Amino acid sequence: MTIVAEFQIDHRQILAPDGHLVAPLPPFAADVDAVVAMYEAMTRVRVFDAKAVNLQRTGQLGTYPSSLGHEATHVGVGAAMRPEDVLAPVYREYGTQLWRGVTMTEILTYWGGDERGSDFAGPRHDFPWCVPIATQTLHAAGAAMAFKIRREPRCALAYIGDGGTSEGAFYEALNLAGARSLPVVFVIVNNGWAISVPVAAQTASQTLAQKAVAAGIPGIQVDGNDVFAVRDVVSRALETARRGGGPCVIETLTYRLSDHTTADDASRYRSDAEVEQAWSLEPLLRVRAYLRRAGAWNDAREQSLLQACSRQVDVAVSDYLQLAKPSTDAMFEHLFAELPAHLHAQRTTARKYAAKPSGH
């Protein structure tokens, strides 16, 4: 008997939950202003997220997937990417999108049921939110193939949740990326739960990062609540891919502190003790503690930041609520160069019902 293949999965952490360093700082973190900028972005998305949930609860927004607890992973990824790179998100990566230029109003517009929210003012080349599970990984692989054919020094990055790694599309994307050595990075956000299904019920793998091995792709696991580690690992993976070194799979270990969406009740399948433990590890605590220890943060700056974030969110909400509703014709636009007859009939019917007074 001979061994024909071996592998190992490394785990990366820089900032411990109490804010102490457990590994040397990456170069970018030596600039305290860069760390402050990431902390401010993490705080901003948390304030926005809380407001969005409140809007849904009061009937002013549709079903909404919260990003609470994912801030370090999302902001770390956003800070690692270049503007010309392409993002293929799932549906809750607001921290990455806000960092890249998507506006809060656009996010609210989309979750208010208006597709105009997908018409980003910022990164025009980024993909819109993807509610079907795992298809975005194929989109990213396809974009990466185009970059390689055109010899463009750009990368694609796709997000996927822990449950999404059980989908066939995910494996297909990995296989294509590995076989063609594409400039793409797959970020698995392992938050412990695929709605109500725990990771242990999804797979027998010790890690999700090792799912890369079968595709001939390197895989690494990172503390997803550590924004330093996330940015460092993603930056390295993107630069390797950009130089022609091929793809990478990065598993970020974090926790979904909220319900899966506002249509979910996580208390039905998670214990209070589990959630309480997760709150002690949440990402904002450790960055704040690190900055305080470095003398770069205090209570006054914290309050000023929270007030500034609240004002920014309020402006975005006001813009969203004042946005004129689209006509029912919008459902039929951008589908065909010439609208088929059966859709002409449907459009006419939609116009008729839209013209009726509310309640009729």
DSSP character string of 86-113: EEE--S--HHHHHHHT--HHHHHHHHTT
Choose, from 44, 154, 231, 256, the residue flagged as catalytic: 256
C-alpha span between 227 and 217 (Å, rounded): 24
Choose, from 231, 260, 270, 286, the residue flagged as catalytic: 260
What pLDDT does 75 receive?
98
Choose, from 20, 269, 311, 344, the residue flagged as catalytic: 269
What pLDDT does 5 receive?
87
Task: Tell me the domain boundaries of the chain.
Answer: 10-324, 327-360
Is the pTM higher than 0.75?
A: yes
CA atoms within 13 A on the CB side of 317: 18
C-alpha span between 38 and 75 (Å, rounded): 7
Distances (CA, A) of 341 to 328, 338, 345, 352, 353: 17, 9, 6, 17, 19
Give the distance between the most distant pair of CA atoms in the chain: 78
CB-based contacts of 132, cutoff 8 Å, min separation 6: none
C-alpha span between 97 and 77 (Å, rounded): 10
What pLDDT does 360 receive?
54
For the segment(s) 10-324, the CATH number from 3.40.50.10140, 3.40.50.2300, 3.40.50.10680, 3.40.50.970 is 3.40.50.970
Q: Kind and range of the H or E element at 166?
A: none
Note if 286 is an active site residue: no
What pLDDT does 333 receive?
87
Q: What are phi and psi of 10, to 5 degrees?
A: -85, 150
Dihedral of CA 168/172/175/181: which sign? negative
CA atoms within 13 A on the CB side of 11: 11
Q: What pairing do the DSSP bridges indicate for beta strands 197-198 and 193-194?
A: antiparallel
Decide: helix, strand or coil at residue 191. Answer: coil
What pLDDT does 355 receive?
85
CA-based angle 185:24:251, to the nearest 5? Answer: 25
Note if 91 is an active site residue: no
Note if 353 is an active site residue: no
Number of residues that make up the chain:
360
Mean pLDDT of residues grouped by 10 in the chain (360 residues)? 93 97 97 98 98 98 98 98 98 98 98 94 94 97 98 98 98 98 98 96 96 97 98 98 98 98 97 97 98 97 98 98 92 89 94 78
CA atoms within 13 A on the CB side of 289: 15
CB-based contacts of 239, cutoff 8 Å, min separation 6: none
